[in-house]
Amino acid sequence: MTTPQPFVPAAVETSRRELFLLAARALADAGAREPDDRLAPLARDLAADDAWLRGLLGWARRRPALRGFTLAVAVEFAHARLAAKLGTAAEARRLIDTILVRADEPGELLAYTMRRFGRSFPKPIREGVARAAERLYDEHALATYDTEDAPLRFSEVIGLTHPKPAGGQREVFQYATLRLKHPTPVPDTLTTLKRRAELYAVPAERRPRHLDRPDIAGLLAAAGMGLRDVAAWLGGEMTGKAWNAVLPSMSLRERLAHLPALTSADLSAEVAERLIADLEEGEAVAREEVPPMEIWAACRSVPSSRWSPALESALRRSLAQVPALSGRTLVLVDRSAAMGARKAEAAAVFAAALALRSSSVEPVQFGPVTERVTVEATVPDTLGRFRRPSGTGNVAQAMREHADGHDRIIVLTHPAAAVEAAEAVTFPGHEHVITEVDDGWFAAVPAIELARTGAWPF
């Protein structure tokens, strides 16, 4: 829902749009999620625009794809306000504290801050990170996020910010620091890490036989060991018994990503039926907000398998993650040979999902033949209406023939045709030329339009 906006100076409105557009594009383009040189000047320009920027941070924080972007904006905003002597130190401290919601994020935010400003950064930012560490650092967090590839280890965050431990946190903080200096026994109070240490004490050659224990799934869960941990414990070899043990603790998206391995593994009937039920019932699909192209990729990875009916059910439910675009939308889908099989299929799935979500979306394929695509009841059936990629396509001609009466045009094509497509589009503010199609564009398309019009969703 958008909120009516009061009058603001043109320069502020321009900076708002540019910053929001950075966020909108980052929803679909992983390369755009790394903060660039434009971020700091925009934060300075908007330092006095407190309410709007906090609204942007709240909106972005709810989108997993914008996690890193959100942390960077929060740092730049807090630093700019402190440098301009706007607001109070307590407000900056509270902003940094509340923006951090996962236990690996204090280290990520602190690492970004030090890359930007060195170790001499404002005290309220340091204190905000300390408060977040006090809130987020516990034994489970230490077992899950304090890894060698983390930008900063827990002990580094603790040493730089000096959080005050409460209750059982004292043992967590001490062990996080000591174990990086020298081999340190796990304190008896840290039961999860103690159980993990006991599993690692099992000789490597005996670990596969350890999987025969009837309580192995519970042992792994009690040790806080997910898929990556179990694979490392076994030396990288995941057997059917290993999958049976770890599958109950895996998210649905992890299971989808590993369906080919699960298909070839000797899964127990009970474990397989549980996965099928999760796909068919749809609760996990909704809870994890699994998008349709991710499920379609899983379908393609295990064609005509025992998972297929459940995957088709999950695919139907995943359409709830697709926006019901307002107005009439023309989706031009390039079917020329230059698209290649992979790009062509992704574009067709994207167009089919949009059309199934809203009856006002009209998919049109262009290549050697330009024609409307009949929308069937399901994504797979609609895909059957697309021609195989071949020959060449003329996006300008397709637009001339089909654009009239539409409020928005989305062109799904290949990079070499992007300039031609952009020049042919005549719908200022409501045109989108997409050359790398993925699920992120479902959220990015309406967000980009909001950035262009200044109708903010917060």
DSSP H helices, 27-62, are 39-45, 50-61
Among 319, 334, 369, the domain boundary falls at 319
Q: CA-CA distances (angstroms) from residue 53 to 59, 178, 325, 458? A: 10, 40, 26, 10
Domain presence at residue 87:
yes
Residue ranges making up the domain that contains 295:
191-319
Residue 26, token pair as written in the block? 């980052």
Number of domains in the chain: 3
Residue 52 token pair: 């709007």
The answer on 329 and 198 residing in a single domain is: no
CA dist 339 and 333 (Å) reads 10
Q: Do 227 and 205 meet the contact criterion of CB atoms below 8 Å apart?
A: no
19 contacts 52 by C-beta, under 8 angstroms: no
The model's pTM = 0.90
Within-domain flag for 5: no
Inside any domain, residue 353: yes
pLDDT tens figures, 428-455: 668 999 999 999 999 999 999 998 888 8
The answer for residues whose C-beta is within 8 angstroms of residue 236's C-beta and 6 or more apart is: none
CB 47 within 8 A of CB 37: no
**Residues 338, 309 share a domain:** no
Task: Examine the domain organization and report whether 285 and 354 are in the same domain.
Answer: no
Q: List per-residue pLDDT tens for the chain, 458 residues long.
A: 555 556 679 999 999 999 999 999 999 988 888 888 899 999 999 999 999 999 999 999 999 999 999 999 999 999 999 999 999 999 999 999 999 999 999 999 999 999 999 988 899 999 999 999 999 999 999 999 999 999 999 999 999 999 999 988 999 999 999 999 998 999 999 999 999 999 999 999 999 999 999 999 999 999 999 999 999 999 988 999 999 999 988 999 999 999 999 998 988 898 899 999 999 988 999 999 999 999 999 999 999 899 999 999 999 999 999 999 999 999 999 999 999 999 999 999 999 999 999 999 999 999 999 999 999 999 999 999 999 999 999 999 999 999 999 999 999 999 999 999 988 887 666 899 999 999 999 999 999 999 888 889 99
Of 271, 289, 319, the domain-final residue: 319
The per-residue pLDDT for range 331-359, each reduced to its tens digit, is: 999 999 999 999 999 999 999 999 999 99
Boundary residue ending a domain (257, 288, 319)? 319
